[in-house]
Structure 1
Amino acid sequence: MVLAERADLPYTAAAMSRPTPEIYAPGGSFHSALAAFDAGADTVYLGLAEFSARKAAANFSFDQLRRIRSVAADRGKRIAVTVNTVVRDAEIGRLVDALGRIEAIGVDAIVVQDLAVSEIAARLFPRLELHASTQMAIHNSAGLTAAASLGFRRVVLARELPLISIRRLRAEHPEVEFEVFIHGALCYSFSGLCLASWALTGRSGNRGECAQICRGHFESRESGEAGHLFSARDLALRRSVLDLADAGVDALKIEGRMKSPEYVYHTVRLYREILDRRDELSHDQERELARRSTLAFARESTSAYFGSPSGERLVDRYHDGHWGAPLGSIVTVGRDDVTLLLDHDISLRDGIGLFPDLSGTAGETEPLRFSARRIRCAGRSVTRASAGETVSIELPPGMRPPRGPGCEVRHLSSRELDLTAPNEAAFPLYRIPIKLDVELSQNLTVRASLAPGCVVTTSHDVTIDDAKVRRPFADLIRSVLSESGESLFRPESIVFTNNCGRSDDAIFIPPSELKRAKNEFYRVLDESFERCTTDRVADIPALLAPPQPTAAGDRPDAARLSAFGDRDSVSPGNRVIPFVSLVRGAIDRTALAVVAGYTCVPLPPVMLDDVAWTRALVDVVTSAPDVRFAVGVANVAHLVVAEALRACENAWFFVDFPIYVANRHTAELLARRLPRLLFAYSWIEEAEPSSIPGPAPAPGPAAVGGAAPRDGASPGDPSPGLPPMLRVQPGFSPPLFLSLGCYAKHTLFAGLCPDEAARRRDPTALSASRAGSRAASTCPRYFDHEISQRANRYRVVVRDCVTYVTKVEV
């Protein structure tokens, strides 16, 4: 019994010998990145102006990247650049240019979502480590196997994985590094699978323009209850990160590229102290460190899925923004001020929030937020007051705080935690170290290798005389060439060869000629670097290799293939959820749709038990050898699942809409990986969403990247090396959210499973039971609920504890 309870001990004991995981901190700006390093982060992840999933962050220019790279080099730290958006064909050239510069200055890794980026980087820029973004939704063993085969060294695991699953996957996949989110904002939807922002505003979260629809205010059309029904609390694991460290996780990631340098500094500081000091860090010290972090920014906290596969208290229906830290309690409320008994220190201009009592659902729920413009203590004005003192805080004109009992006083910011902004220009630009070979014969020749096959050589006419003052010429030429000016490069070593016929200390060349030769060399070097990048862009078409050939006549003709453009026709059963499900471990073949003679099996993008899914898929295909199946691939894990069906000639595949095919390289890679590929849906967000004013896309074929098909092209006539591409026809309503956070549990029943809520018979359960009598007595694992947001209506369906939210066209 003891052994069964501690079955993880052998692996945990072995993991104790692993090095401390690195702290992976956000750098939304130069100031934030510097603050992260100052606080003890090992690696900073940051984005450039383009290809970053946080487009609204300050992000980095190339010069700023060079400066923070210089800081990292001096301190022995690492830099990772996020290239984690979907990329269009027209952007590939700019992508290659960016990757070339990133690799050249010694960035350690790139964080990737689009498979094209990983393919191009692996072939052209092999010195860059590939890290799979959480946007790739990797959450099972098959996904990790696929990531390793695609060249990824590290995977940022989906936030939905509990510790027990992380331990199991760590033991199964020692070949891949694990990175796990430990702190910061959570998405209600599985990362990378949220289409709400695009569908409702036309702004794609997969292009760094998330409109945070999940933070909005919704109303139940059945019960009338309203609130932030999908607004997730913030993750805060604190000491639980020690369990991740002991489990062998390689990196602990803090969310927050949109947040302040103060948030970054104090959050990194919290986890640096926890990791380094472990049990030596007292609980009082930890609480103070955590308080400083929450003052910078925090919603109500949760451990999310860390201890439970279904999540623990994920949603805060009442507040979607900054929650801060406790400050004190209200003593009295006056006309123009409020008197507080302080539990913590406060200073002028600190932020204060008065949060009303939420024990019931009636009344105002939005907090009042204001700055402490005047503080009075013991009858006099003060600039600072301490814990235990009673103070009067002047209210802004017209503000009336709640007078009832239970109002919570929160500390929203502290000026004492403010950081001084750095002078960026004071930090040197990183220069790429290169080795120079210098030869003096009749001319002065300088040679450097930028990359394999890219050698720069300049030859300079110089006047060689006898030196009047003897000194080693090799030292002189090294001194001159070491001053590289504004060049992107600096000499790491200089090898001098003297073939001019004079001894080294007898050589004299006019300083003006040496300076002119140096300037000319670095000018040519920088120009050659630009040309090398351009040449790499020109080499891109050669990366497109033909996929595995499909026998002539096997693929349906254009007319039949076009039938798949109606994505609703591919969905099983009642089409509410566009993917198949497992029923008692099996796929119900009778519920599958038939399109163009193919029985469709659109796999769900989230498959926690990939072994059971693979077994069920093989069973349904092999049980009917005379039936042609079209299996929908919706996650990189499905590339591995498809291998189990490679020998089954009746199993064909299509790339479903949750895999975003926005460019030729992604399409070509998938065509190589998948046997008997029928077609791929082009990136669904490239189409105009039906809820956005504007022309609807025409049905039928689509070229990759959303452009019109080439002349004469049809679904059965793809471009060389590419699968046939189909655009999803108008009328299909894809899931806006796909979440493992059961809506019934986390929104209707305040974090309790419906049957548990019914057993407790608490007011929350009784109130929520108005949403449907079925939910109040037992949990059927299926709910169907309607909500609205202004003029928009939505359907919320929970099946087997997974939540799907779709828009209802009125």
Structure 2
Amino acid sequence: MIELALPSGDLQTALIAFKNGADGVYFGMRSFSARKGATNFSFEDLAIIRKYALENNKKIYITVNTLIADNNLDKVYALLAKIDFYGCDGIICQDLGVASLIKNCFPRLPLHGSTQLAVHTIEGVKVLQSYGFERVVLSRELSLEEIRKIRIACPDVELKVFIHGALCFGFSGLCMASYQSCNRSANGGACAQICRNYFTLDGTTDSKYYFSMTDLNAGQLIKQLDEMGIDSAKIEGRMKSKEYVASLTRYYRNILDDRDTIEDEEEVKTNFSRTFSTGYFEYKKDRLPLIDSEYSSHRGLLIGDVLYQNDDSIGIRSEYNLHPYDGICIFVPTASGRFVPFAFSLLQFHKDGGYYSISIPETRYNLTGLRVYKTSDSASHEKEIHDRLGKYQRPVDITFTIEKDRLIAQWEDVKIEKEFKTEEAKQKQALHDNLQKIFSEGGEGRFTLNTLKFNNNSEVSNPFLPLSVIKEMRRCFYEEINRLPLMVKPLPIIKSKETPLLPNRSLLSTTYPWNLEGVEVEGFTYYTLPPVTFNEEKLFKTVEDKLKTTINNRIGLNNIGQLNFALKHPEYEYFIDIYLFLSNRYAASFFTTILPNLVGGYLYPEFVNYEEPWPFTPTLCNDYKLPIFISRACFRHDSLSLPCKGCPQKSEFTITNQENSYQVLVKDCLTVVYKN
């Protein structure tokens, strides 16, 4: 059966997820995680959850899924070394330099490709698989049929699919809105949620949430993913509450087990829910819009309509039970086209059959006829788990040797010796069993016994070894290995090589950040491939035909799936373009190892400097302004609710937010948004 993987912003949430039926949890440590706002895990937390998972046949996945600048490589390397000590079932990463370090320096940590890598094609999955990734988290922008095709074409690599939670307007990993609007990095774990703000459409009075995606709710569709052989279903929400995680775990576990889910659905909606949709799973023309332009946050569970309103109360009819201090919200329409929430805590109410009379705060709003939602349930509270929880201890293989005049306990380079005169035992001892039992009691340190090998090199066939002596050897041995610092080898050396810089990035493309027509600069013809394509074969055929008409071709790669095209055509030169996110020297080394005909690359656009050594000289692209969004959501249809019939296939709009103006381009259902 498909794995159910839940988000965990802290240790208690992980334990509660497991208690409610999760197969696995994913979480970040307190640095280099794409959710800086979550509590995240300490290494003590990791030791606890690792032991719990091993003992209960559960899985833990750790996100190290931010982009790492050169000056943070030492820190992330030390972090990986600590994680490697405890172990986990997968490291979810976006940065290909980090992936390179994991593969070469920490090979026992399984590599999982983050959704931030924007893997949405067969070739993208194959490239990661060929490099050693055991699992790939696919982009959220894929339909069920597209996922099915990838599964069929890539049968022997694990695939993970998001099934529930927030959807970004911008394509997975490609969003620049936070950086351009407030100098915060979404790929650095500090998304400012620009897409949840409201904008005014030029030429109208409408001021709506044009980029606020509905929340994904796969519901019963998880069974189709299970049937097609998807390995893991992932739920978004590392910054959500324990109650949110618990209710979603029960909801999807009961779906998979063919049990009733009505109560679970109600809890899910109450704990946190925007307007729900099936996201891109059922993507087609004239679909229900994927944008909720009227409201961008938690709506809750619809419980009824306002029948009447008095000065200090309202009447509603509802089949749901309400409790004191439940959260209530009524969404009031405005002339701008969006809703404003009238929210309050349920303090006084009277129930008469299926009718409620509810006291409300003073308000100027006319509430009669409006819908009423429950946004929290005061009776719903997940108890924290405070059972005695042990900590993971690293198993070690100990060799215990009896010499003629001494005892030796050894693990790798650690050796404890004790002078001891070996004598014949008066009666036979179960010596190996005694050693095994006593050395298994390692205390609360970082290590415990895995196996014990016993050597008798004395001249005594049945040596006498008092239990007190064995215990003293055990104490000294564990004291010694627990004093050992965590051994971290130096970072791998990169050979520095100066290479010519690429042209200013602004010369290579105009309206869109890709260019399939070719542009000649200083004797070379430059092409830049699109970071998003849902028909790889057509794209590559178009590029192949075009390349035959020009000379001295250089091709910019913007998605991991394009590396195989480059390997297939070694007759051309290539460079790493702006969307393959060249963040550090190990990412650069990753690409130079794969592509011998690589002539350089553009530094990740949010970075303005780098630290030597690099295998080539990266070109800064501060002169080039990337779009804030590239989206599969069609602004014309999903944001403005215009029909697909009669669509001109190419549209342009202007929107504003406060003093900022934005250009929205729509072409063939793909939306690109620039900040003017």
Q: Taking structure 2 as the reference length, what is the TM-score of the superposition?
A: 0.94
SS of aligned partner of 1:180: strand
Matched, 1:707 2:610: yes
The structural deviation recorded for 1:503 is 5.7
CA 1:607–1:377: 2 relative to 1, 3 Å:
closer
**What is aligned with 1:728?**
621
1:516-560 per-residue CA deviation (whole Å, 9 max, x = no partner) reads: 5333322332344612xx22xx1522xx4799xxxxxxx9x84xx
| Structure ranking higher in helix proportion | 1
The structural deviation recorded for 1:178 is 1.3
Contact 2:137-2:160 within 8 A present in 1 as well: yes
1:617-672 per-residue CA deviation (whole Å, 9 max, x = no partner) reads: 11111233xx21221111101111212321x2xx2211111121121111011122
1:697-753 per-residue CA deviation (whole Å, 9 max, x = no partner) reads: xxxxxxxxx236x6xxxxxxxx5x6122110133x2201110010111111126x42
CA 1:474–1:176: 2 relative to 1, 3 Å:
closer
Contact 2:306-2:368 within 8 A present in 1 as well: no
1:76-97 per-residue CA deviation (whole Å, 9 max, x = no partner) reads: 1111111111112233233233
> Whole-Å Cα distance in 2 between the matches of residues 469 and 389 of structure 1?
83
SS of aligned partner of 2:159: strand
1:54-111 per-residue CA deviation (whole Å, 9 max, x = no partner) reads: 1111110011011111211121111111111111223323323322332332311111
Contact 1:295-1:412 within 8 A present in 2 as well: yes
**What is aligned with 1:10?**
none
The structural deviation recorded for 1:448 is 2.2
**What is aligned with 2:367?**
403
> Whole-Å Cα distance in 1 between the matches of residues 483 and 554 of structure 2?
51
Q: Mark the runs of 5 or more structure 1 residues left unpaired by the alignment.
A: 1-19, 379-387, 450-454, 548-554, 581-586, 688-705, 711-718, 756-777
Q: State the identity %.
A: 31
Aligned amino acid, residue 654 of structure 1: F
> Whole-Å Cα distance in 1 between the matches of residues 648 and 336 of structure 2?
30
Contact 2:206-2:337 within 8 A present in 1 as well: no
Matched, 1:639 2:563: yes
Matched, 1:288 2:209: no
Aligned amino acid, residue 735 of structure 1: P
Quote the RMSD (CA, aligned, Å): 2.4
Matched, 1:445 2:408: yes
Matched, 1:368 2:289: no
**What is aligned with 1:682?**
603
Matched, 1:347 2:239: no
The structural deviation recorded for 1:482 is 2.4
Contact 1:236-1:302 within 8 A present in 2 as well: yes
**What is aligned with 1:176?**
157
> Whole-Å Cα distance in 2 between the matches of residues 419 and 275 of structure 1?
22
**What is aligned with 2:544?**
618
Pick aligned residue for 2:292 from 316, 330, 337: 316
The structural deviation recorded for 1:261 is 1.0
CA 1:318–1:404: 2 relative to 1, 3 Å:
same
Contact 1:26-1:33 within 8 A present in 2 as well: yes
Aligned amino acid, residue 402 of structure 2: L
Q: Which has the higher contact order (CA 8 A, sep 6+)?
A: 2
Matched, 1:92 2:73: yes
CA 1:493–1:475: 2 relative to 1, 3 Å:
same
Contact 1:39-1:265 within 8 A present in 2 as well: yes
Matched, 1:668 2:589: yes
CA 1:362–1:668: 2 relative to 1, 3 Å:
closer
Aligned amino acid, residue 664 of structure 2: V
The structural deviation recorded for 1:402 is 3.0
CA 1:506–1:519: 2 relative to 1, 3 Å:
closer
**What is aligned with 2:354?**
389
Q: Mark the runs of 5 or more structure 2 residues left unpaired by the alignment.
A: none
Aligned amino acid, residue 319 of structure 2: D
Matched positions, count: 674
> Whole-Å Cα distance in 2 between the matches of residues 461 and 793 of structure 1?
81
The structural deviation recorded for 1:325 is 0.8
CA 1:399–1:488: 2 relative to 1, 3 Å:
farther
Report 1:29-108 matches (<5 A).
29-108=10-89
Aligned amino acid, residue 745 of structure 1: H
SS of aligned partner of 1:147: helix
Report 1:463-542 matches (<5 A).
472-502=430-460, 504=462, 506-508=464-466, 511=468, 514-528=470-484, 530-531=486-487, 534-535=488-489, 538=490, 540-541=492-493
Q: Which moved more, 1:415-424 or 1:193-202?
A: 415-424
> Whole-Å Cα distance in 1 between the matches of residues 582 and 350 of structure 2?
62
**What is aligned with 2:506?**
568
> Whole-Å Cα distance in 1 between the matches of residues 151 and 140 of structure 2?
15
SS of aligned partner of 1:672: helix
SS of aligned partner of 2:619: strand
1:115-138 per-residue CA deviation (whole Å, 9 max, x = no partner) reads: 112212122222222111100000
Aligned amino acid, residue 728 of structure 1: C
Q: Taking structure 1 as the reference length, what is the TM-score of the superposition?
A: 0.79
Contact 2:141-2:632 within 8 A present in 1 as well: yes
The structural deviation recorded for 1:43 is 1.1
1:283-339 per-residue CA deviation (whole Å, 9 max, x = no partner) reads: xx3232211111111100011111115664211111111111111222322222222
Contact 2:329-2:372 within 8 A present in 1 as well: yes
Pick aligned residue for 1:459 from 417, 435, 459: 417
Pick aligned residue for 1:152 from 128, 133, 145: 133
Contact 1:439-1:497 within 8 A present in 2 as well: yes
Q: Which moved more, 1:40-49 or 1:87-96?
A: 87-96
Q: Which moved more, 1:486-495 or 1:321-330?
A: 486-495
1:342-389 per-residue CA deviation (whole Å, 9 max, x = no partner) reads: 221111111111122x5x8457721111211223335xxxxxxxxx53
The structural deviation recorded for 1:501 is 4.3
> Whole-Å Cα distance in 1 between the matches of residues 492 and 185 of structure 2?
26
Pick aligned residue for 1:738 from 630, 639, 648: 630
The structural deviation recorded for 1:177 is 1.4
The structural deviation recorded for 1:457 is 2.7
> Whole-Å Cα distance in 1 between the matches of residues 574 and 652 of structure 2?
31
The structural deviation recorded for 1:40 is 1.0
Aligned amino acid, residue 749 of structure 1: S
> Whole-Å Cα distance in 2 between the matches of residues 195 and 785 of structure 1?
19
SS of aligned partner of 2:379: helix
Matched, 1:113 2:94: yes
Matched, 1:189 2:81: no
Contact 2:207-2:338 within 8 A present in 1 as well: no
CA 1:49–1:362: 2 relative to 1, 3 Å:
closer
SS of aligned partner of 1:745: helix
Contact 1:466-1:508 within 8 A present in 2 as well: no
**What is aligned with 2:660?**
792
Aligned amino acid, residue 660 of structure 1: F
> Whole-Å Cα distance in 2 between the matches of residues 675 and 782 of structure 1?
39
**What is aligned with 1:760?**
none
